Structure 1
Amino acid sequence: MSVLMTLRVTGDPTAVEKLAADDGALFQGVVADGTGRGLISHHFYGSETEVLVVDEWDDEASFQAFFERSGPQIEQVMAAAGVTTQPTIEFWRPLEVGDDVG
């Protein structure tokens, strides 16, 4: 059963968007690496002061292996966003309650 992974940091979402516009290959490379390691879906979100990544992975171990391997590229994105703290990473499992949409 797949898991949802959330990664949350304090940083500048606009800077992440600018980095993506300036160096889209960096983001595409990270996504390609993740897809080959069990990434099912991936999304960035931003508020005024935070960046949130929401991914679906085959399992928690697949994400952990990816995160260890892609650390330098991920650190580059975080540095561009002005992140100075460790990310908060959480894993979520689906609950079977019968009201899924989509």
Structure 2
Amino acid sequence: MSVIVAAKIAADVSAFKKSLTERADDYRRIAEMGRQQGALHHQFGAGDGYVLIIDEWESAEAFNTFFSDPQLMSFIGSVGGDPNTAPEVTFGESVDSPDKF
């Protein structure tokens, strides 16, 4: 059974949004690495001073392995993530429901 992952990262949101176009190839490369390691779905959200990552992964362990990579942490810092604030990460078992879309 897969897991849904919600991660909230303190960030400079304007720097993050700017990086989405300026570093698009880096995002594509990281997405491919994630897929190879067990990512099934991925999406960002942005709020006031934070970026949300909403993913589906084959397992929590696969996500944790991917997310703890020092190069990924460096990348997150370089695109606006606050390296001094630990991300808030929550996992939940993915479940089917009649209202899912």
Alignment check: 8 A CA contact 1:20 1:26 kept: no
Deviation at 1:66, TM superposition (A): 1.3
Gaps of 5+ in 2: none
**How high is the sequence identity, in percent, across the aligned residues?**
23
The number of equivalent residue pairs is 100
Distance in 1 separating the partners of 2:39 and 2:23: 21
Per-residue displacement from partner, 1:70-89 (whole Å, max 9, x unpaired)? Answer: x3234322343151311111
Post-superposition shift, 1:48? Answer: 1.9
2:9·2:81 contact (CA, 8 Å) conserved in 1? no
Contact 1:19 1:77 in 2 (8 A): no
**TM-score normalized with structure 1 length:** 0.84
1:22-33 correspondence runs (5 A): 22-33=22-33
Query: What stretches of structure 1 of length at least 5 have no aligned partner?
Result: none
- The two structures have a TM-score, normalised by structure 2, of 0.85
In 2, Cα distance between equivalents of 1:78 and 1:100 = 37
- Please give the secondary structure, in 2, of the residue aligned with 1:27: helix
Q: How does 1:14-93 map to 2 (within 5 A)?
A: 14-69=14-69, 71-83=70-82, 84-93=84-93
Would the aligned equivalents of 2:15 and 2:80 in 1 still touch at CA under 8 Å? yes
Runs of 4+ in 1 over 4 A off after TM superposition: none
CA distance in 2, matches of 1:7, 1:27: 17
The alpha carbon displacement at 1:38 in A equals 0.7
Which deviates more from structure 2 when the two are superposed, residues 85-94 or residues 29-38? 85-94
